[in-house]
Amino acid sequence: MDVNSPISRRKFLKRAAAASSVFAVPYIIPASALGLNGFVAPSERILMGGIGINRRGTGDLTWMMGEPDIQFVAICDVRKDRRETVKRIIDNQYGTKDCTMHRDIREFLAERTDIDGMLIATGDHWHALAAVLAMKAGKDVYCEKPSCMTIAEGQMVVETAKKYGRVYQTGTQRLSEPNHVFAIEMARTGRLGKVHTAYAQIAPWDAAVMSHEWRPAEPEPSKDEVDWDTWLGPCPWRPYNASYVQGQWRGFYDFHTSCIGEWGAHTFAQAQAGLGMLDTSPVSYEYVDNPTGDGMVTTFASGAKMILSRGDKYWHGSCGERFDGTEGWVAAADGYAKTDVSSPSMLADFKKVVGEYSARTQCSLSHVRNFFDCMRSRRQTVANAEVMYRSMTTVHAANICMWLKRNLKFDPVKAEFVNDPEANRLRARAMRGPWKF
């Protein structure tokens, strides 16, 4: 392990302190503190904090706390009720009262210099900014999707991770699930012949064109109960409405990435992985005259196509992807007992294909375990910042195509639309001070 990493420095200091005091006063040390009986010693644990932990975030939190070498020690949230709820969850997990609560992300990051990594599960509009602030503060980051609101935000996440040497994982967990891994690897390794088309599912609710209105004003609570200014963060000022902080912000341009981003944040990465296009984005987007983007054809420089699909024509379940090749097809989605294939004989190699993936990548088939392993090794995660940026660029370009109601050409090297100033202006959004990169 790199002795200069935050985890290594903390371990060294703790071990030195323990060595200097071991003969000072005799006392009984519990097995958990010594790393006995299956426990991981405190000096070997990765310390985690949470930012904005609510519905999805609680699932991530529970998943992560199941890892024996992980310990959550703090929660930051603009809502008092969520701070208190998450503190109870964490303290109950460890049988302590040690979890600290914080309202302001800037003070939190400045105070808790001992924390190694952050779980970020705020509303979508805070994902990129929170990740950038955390990485600048020396934290590795696991960030829920969609992980950026614009192409420019995605670029900033990539640049920050590189500049500060941070490990980053976006929450596209299907990239680490066996059925999806099998489908992706069948396409990527040529077992389907030449793969000419991938299909990626978009969410079956909301539309691509979102509302620019806002909800009616309600009396604003105290800053301790709900810090509304901080909840808004980089978004334009809007009057307080309780439904926003309770999660009813989808469908509003200020806070959401549309039905395309809602599931495309997952499925575009899945489709691009099978096509071998995780380091780029499509070069053309064909407008479809419907509210959602269903059926939009995007084309990569290689000629391979990725088609957006809203329904269940190509899979059953949610967040599905499918690959069509000259020698067959495969598809996967949530809830599958086994991957869908054009020929049952393909499944005979399931364990071999997944095993070869694990051997090649040295990646766990647990998305959070992959993150923690990379925190220790300093290797790139499965869904690293570049993977997030490229797939989310596809999301944003598809959205812009729908908003402008015309076909678009995109240069993924320059990260700009070709000869289209209007489209290029939509690659970024103004950020309200002081919440800027």
Q: State pLDDT tens for residues 61-114.
A: 999 999 999 999 999 999 999 999 999 999 999 999 999 999 999 999 999 999
Contact indicator for 232, 238 with CB cutoff of 8 Å: yes
pLDDT recorded at residue 35: 55
Q: What is the pTM of this model?
A: 0.92
Checking if the pLDDT of 24 tops 70, the result is: no
Note the pLDDT of residue 437: 86
Average pLDDT over residues 397-419: 98
pLDDT of residue 164: 98
What pLDDT is recorded for position 26?
Answer: 44
| Lookup result for tokens 């990626």 | 200
Kindly report the backbone phi and psi dihedral angles of residue 422, in degrees, each rounded to the nearest multiple of 5, phi listed first. Answer: -65, -45
- What is the mean pLDDT of the segment spanning 189-211? 98
Q: Supply the pLDDT for residue 37.
A: 55
Among left, alpha and beta (phi > 0; psi -120 to 50; other), residue 67 is beta
**Bridge-partner residues for 417, per DSSP?**
410
Distance CA 93, CA 49 (A): 14
> Mean pLDDT across the chain, nearest whole number?
93
Measured CA to CA, the distance from residue 127 to residue 145 in angstroms comes to 8
Q: Among 3.90.650.10, 1.10.10.1100, 3.30.360.10, 3.40.50.720, what is the CATH number of 174-208+256-365+385-425?
A: 3.30.360.10
Q: Measure the CA–CA gap between 171 and 265, rounded to whole angstroms.
A: 9
Is the Cβ–Cβ distance between 219 and 351 less than 8 Å? Answer: no
Confidence band of 39 (pLDDT split at 50, 70, 90): confident
The pLDDT tens digits for 277-311 are 999 999 999 999 999 999 999 999 999 999 999 99
pLDDT at 266: 98
Domain(s) of CATH 3.30.360.10: residues in the chain: 174-208+256-365+385-425
276 CA to centre of own chain: 20
Which helix (H) or strand (E) is 84 found in, with range?
A: helix 80-94
Nearest to 224 by CA among 49, 82, 118, 50: 82
CA distances to 103, 119, 155, 283 from 53, in Å: 12, 8, 25, 36
Query: Which two tokens mark 55?
Result: 């519905």
Query: Which residues, at least 6 apart from 106, have a Cβ–Cβ distance to it below 8 Å?
Result: 133
Q: What is the pLDDT of residue 30?
A: 47
Between 19 and 69, whose confidence is greater?
69
The size of the chain, in residues, is 437
The average pLDDT across 170-182 equals: 98
- Judge whether 102 and 75 are in contact, CB under 8 Å: yes
Domain 6-172: assigned CATH number? 3.40.50.720
Considering only CA atoms, give the Rg of the chain: 23
Evaluate if residue 18 carries a pLDDT over 80.
Answer: no
Q: Are 299 and 283 contacting, i.e. CB atoms less than 8 angstroms apart?
A: yes
pLDDT of residue 32: 53
Is the pLDDT at 25 greater than 70? The verdict is no
Q: What's the rounded Cα separation, in Å, for the pair 21 and 4?
A: 25
- Encode pLDDT of 43-54 as tens digits: 999 999 999 999
The model's pLDDT over 214-224, given as tens digits with 9 standing for 90+, comes to 999 999 999 99
Contact 137, 109 (CB under 8 A): yes
Contact 121, 144 (CB under 8 A): yes
Cα(424)–Cα(385) distance, integer angstroms: 22
SS3 at position 307: strand
Per-residue tokens: 109: 């990051």
Span 322-376, pLDDT tens digits: 999 999 999 999 999 999 999 999 999 999 999 999 999 999 999 999 999 999 9
> What residue ranges of the chain are covered by domains with CATH 3.40.50.720?
6-172
Which whole-number Å values give the CA distances from 117 to 63, 137, 293, in the listed order? 15, 10, 36
Q: Determine the pLDDT at residue 436.
A: 84
What pLDDT, on the 0 to 100 scale, is given for residue 191?
Answer: 98
Percent of the chain with pLDDT over 70: 91
